[in-house]
Amino acid sequence: MLPINKPWLGDEEKQEILNILEENVLTSPANDGGKRVQEFENILQSYVDVKHVIAVNSGTSALHASLLSIGIKQGDEVMLPSFTFVATANSVMATGAKPIFVDINKQDYTIDILDVKKKISKNTKAIIPVHLYGHPSNMNEINDIARAHSIYVIEDACQSLGSTYFQKQTGTLSDIGCFSFYASKVITTGEGGAIATNNDDFAEKLKMIRNHGMIHGYDTTLFGLNLRLPELSAGIGKIQMKKLDKMLNIRRNNANILSNGLKKYEQIHSIINLPQETIDKKFNWYLFTVGFKDKDKRELVKNHLIKEGISAVVYYDPPVHKTPYYNSLESQSDDDVLPNTIWAWHHALSLPVHPLVTENDLYKIIKTFEICI
């Protein structure tokens, strides 16, 4: 079965692992992190062009630490989409704050600005736009709202390393940005994450939060946890970063083949919506997500692709506010509360375009649409 995403690893990663084992230094409790962690941070920092990068052990840790660093606590509200991986909401819950779920737009599945305006309250302390599938959110509008209400913006860029908005990297467009290097992401460290910020104070706090709130040993001055990235992971990340542009080019190429092959179903038959870049929003093509007008057609295409050995995945099934845990907490569980979220759950289908997808796989996908539509 061709997976929806798969790490692209090679001899260089293997050699780096052997080097680290040979050196026998697997982690460091220093405030600045270990040697590989610092090298990885420096490479990321210059790639995304930001003042500080703090590597941590997951995207979830990146989000949690970021919320702690801006002082989010019990009694606060944080706005975020329900159409995201549950980690975005869990990181809010971990601070004791209340997640307020906001709808998405149907064009690119990112947070809906009108719904943000509608749901903002005196308790709102932060907004977390998610650059879902690698699609940049409407950051200018989100930053305007945040400025007008004196609240913070934390980008969930866990899926969007390499995507740009007005030529700037996602994850660097607001107060703080969070990346994930989980095995399905465009680069991986197995498990891992990173936080990007241009704010010196947040950066200082974040380094402490990833290390039990300490600076020089046992001098805890604020609440933190062990969120450190191991050296083995950072070593893999360093090598993966060298290949990032090459991997993004392959993803783009694959996405172009699918777009060309499927465009008649959008332009002539009006049966699907294809993912569409604009002049100001460039994707990393983490996934190629198609919106179907008819949900039965989506099921037909999905099942056919799976039979053909190609993973086609329905994200997020169900959206966060419909999961049993959040449903039990929430008053926002009716279908008419987040209509576009419910629509996307039932109509969107994600297809693989990662570097290990072959041209043959892509033509198989196009052929499947021909058969099913």
Ligand X SMILES: Cc1ncc(COP(=O)(O)O)c(C=O)c1O
Query: Can you give the binding site for ligand X, defined by CB under 6 A?
Result: 58-60, 84-85, 87-88, 130, 156, 158-159, 180, 182, 193
What are the φ and ψ backbone dihedral angles of 272, each rounded to 5 degrees? -135, 165
- Tell me if 373 sits within 8 A of 349, measured CB to CB: no
**Rounded to the nearest whole angstrom, what is the least distance from the CB of residue 91 to ligand X in the complex?**
8
For ligand X, the closer CB: 77 or 155: 155
Task: Return d(Cα 151, Cα 147) in angstroms, integer.
Answer: 6
**Rounded to the nearest whole angstrom, what is the least distance from the CB of residue 180 to ligand X in the complex?**
3
For ligand X, the closer CB: 111 or 255: 111
For ligand X, the closer CB: 136 or 297: 136
CA-nearest of 147, 106, 109 to 129 is 109
Q: What is the 3-state secondary structure (H, E, C) of 117-144?
A: HHHCCCCEEEECCECHHHCCCCHHHHHH
- C-alpha R_g of the chain: 21
DSSP assignment of 19-58 equals HHHHHT-----STT--HHHHHHHHHHHHHHT-SEEEEES-
- Tell me if 84 sits within 8 A of 316, measured CB to CB: yes
Rounded to 10 deg, the angle between the 59-69 and 200-209 helix axes is 120
Task: Return d(Cα 317, Cα 305) in angstroms, integer.
Answer: 18
For ligand X, the closer CB: 80 or 113: 80
DSSP assignment of 80-113 equals EESSS-THHHHHHHHTTPEEEEE-B-TTTSPBPH
**Rounded to the nearest whole angstrom, what is the least distance from the CB of residue 321 to ligand X in the complex?**
15
**Rounded to the nearest whole angstrom, what is the least distance from the CB of residue 82 to ligand X in the complex?**
12
**Rounded to the nearest whole angstrom, what is the least distance from the CB of residue 319 to ligand X in the complex?**
12
**Rounded to the nearest whole angstrom, what is the least distance from the CB of residue 255 to ligand X in the complex?**
18
For ligand X, the closer CB: 262 or 320: 320
**Rounded to the nearest whole angstrom, what is the least distance from the CB of residue 154 to ligand X in the complex?**
11
For ligand X, the closer CB: 82 or 368: 82
Task: Return d(Cα 66, Cα 197) in angstroms, integer.
Answer: 10
For ligand X, the closer CB: 228 or 297: 228
Tell me the CA end-to-end span of the chain in Å, nearest whole number: 23
Task: Return d(Cα 51, Cα 7) in angstroms, integer.
Answer: 28
**Rounded to the nearest whole angstrom, what is the least distance from the CB of residue 368 to ligand X in the complex?**
26
Residue with tokens 């569409």: 276
What are the φ and ψ backbone dihedral angles of 330, each rounded to 5 degrees? -100, 145
**Rounded to the nearest whole angstrom, what is the least distance from the CB of residue 84 to ligand X in the complex?**
5
For ligand X, the closer CB: 180 or 340: 180
For ligand X, the closer CB: 196 or 362: 196
Q: What residue number has its CB nearest to ligand X?
A: 59
